[in-house]
Each structure stands twice: as structure tokens, then as C-alpha cells.
Amino acid sequence: MSLLLLVDLDGVVYRGDDPVPGVAELLMQRANAGDDVVYVTNNSMHYRADYVRRLTDLGAPVASDRIVSAPRATALYLREHHPEVRRVLAVGAGGLDRELRDVGLEVVNSGFAAERMAKEGIDGVAASGGAEAVVAGVDPQMTYMRIAAAADCVRAGALFIATNRDPVYPVEVGRLRPGAGSIVAAIEVASSVAPTTIGKPEPLLMEAAAHAVGRDPKEGIVIGDGILTDIAAARAVGARSILMLTGVTTGAALEALPSSDRPTKVAGDANELAQVLNELAGER
């Protein structure tokens, strides 16, 4: 049976603007051999087509249905588990709006709602047209009134969904920006309601990624660079995992982990990843 590879992007396939040497080529080899390669990312800013272009340029195997981002998984979660939701207030960037619209949802961006609140003196519920769900991700244009609009809707009973709760995300070596978790926390405090979280380390994103190719997430091998996100998400769905030391996790951090939190395998580069995948394939 073919392997199901659930592959993180930043820190595994590329680091910022630079590819991780050899990984795209290896993934193409695995796909050509019949393995299912699905990309899984917590990033809530971009649309699937953006990843398709980038991965194609790198020479990695890719199709739009093999890109499962936290916004994509959030949209699928709403469609499958809350079909009663028709209108969503989106706190985030354009990629989030587009993923929600792709599954037939009517999307009101929080920026539009905030402008209506300021101009018309109405609350967030009225400004959003009665949104039945609030979905929050990274919003580079976050303002006080956007938080107010979202909190008003959540207090009025709208579902509250977090694409992920990453507190920060890297923009380049040594520099961090507030992540979706920072924005989610503001809405949570203002509304006194905790959200349902879709992204890693919660299981819902990995489940959506496996289901995208008709597989059970327990069959997966999660390839990621984050102990608290990728490797923890693998444990949450009962999948095997490979920690790549090409991103945010150092060897020292790995050594400090208790045995219960350790990945199945570790790889320092593409060559080691190829060896580990061959070992895991032989263990099936």
C-alpha cells in the first residue's frame, strides 16, 4: 500500500523564500512511485492557488486538492459539521475569505463590518448582516473595531472558529509577527467564549488532509519541523511522524523531549528523509 505523506510547508519544503535542498525532488520521486503527498499548513493568509504556483516552481508534486491549509480545513469543517451556517464574519486576509467562499458561504470581512459600525453607529451583529459564525486567522489589518465586530457576533451566539492558535509566525530569520492565536485571543477575551480550533496541534486539520485523498489519518506519516504543532498533531490522530531539523526545532530541543512526545523518526536533511521514508515503508 502506498504511503500517505502529510507534509508541512515552511521549515520542511522551504524556509521563507528559500527551498530546503532536495525535499521537493524527493517528494516528486515519492509521488511518482505512488505515494499520496498532501501539504498541510497552519498558515491562514494564503489561498490554495498561491501554494500551487510556488510548489510547481520548486518542482514538487502538487494539485489544488492536495493543499489543505487551516482556512481550507475550516471551510470544510463548517460545510460538513454546520450546514446551517450561511453567513460568516471573517477576521483575516484574502486567502481566508476565498476558501470560505469556495464552499458556498457568504463572507463578510471584518474590515467591512468595522467600517459600517463606525459610520452607522451599529453593533457588529448588524454590521455583519447577522453572521452565524466568526472565523479568525491572521489579519494584518487588525483594528480595535474589527475585534469589536467579531466579539459582538460571538456574544450574540455566532459559532467561533479559530483557523489555528499559533501565537506568532516567522517572516524571516530572527523576526516574528503576531500569529492567528494572538488575534483569536483578543476575540476570546472580549467575548468570553473559547473557539473551536481547526489547525495543528488539534486533529481536525490532519483529518481533513487525509480525507482529501480518501485515506484514514492513522495511515499518515506527518513530516514537519514543529514539535508543538506537527508532531503533536500526528499524535492526536494516531499517525507516525518525522521531525525535520530544517526549520524551527533544534537538536537540543529534541533531546529535551520526554519519550512520550518524541517523533517516530528524525531527519536532518533530504537525504536522511529519503532513508527514513524507506525504513517506514518497509515497516508497513
Range of the domain at 90: 81-197
Q: How many CB atoms lie within 10 A of CB 251?
A: 10
d(CA 228, CA 186) in angstroms, rounded, equals 22
- Strand-pairing partners, residue 135, are 90, 161
Question: Does residue 57 sit within a domain?
Answer: no
Q: What is the pLDDT of residue 174?
A: 63
Mean of pLDDT over the chain: 95
Query: Parallel, antiparallel, or unpaired: how do β-strands 36-41 and 67-69 relate?
Result: parallel
* 172-196 pLDDT per residue, tens: 666 788 999 999 999 999 999 999 9
| Per-residue pLDDT at 49 exceeds 80 | yes
Q: What is the pLDDT of residue 284?
A: 62
Mean pLDDT over residues 211-219, rounded? 97
Q: What is the pLDDT of residue 188?
A: 98
d(CA 235, CA 240) in angstroms, rounded, equals 7
Asked whether residue 165 falls in the same domain as residue 230, the answer is: no
Helix axis angle for 70-81 and 94-102, nearest 10°, is 30
Asked whether residue 105 falls in the same domain as residue 177, the answer is: yes
Q: Record the pTM.
A: 0.93
For residues 124 and 142, the answer to whether their CB atoms sit within 8 Å is no
Mean pLDDT over residues 40-46, rounded? 94
Looking at 153, 178, 197, the residue that finishes a domain is: 197
Share of the chain above pLDDT 70, in %: 98
CATH of the domain at 111: 3.40.50.1000
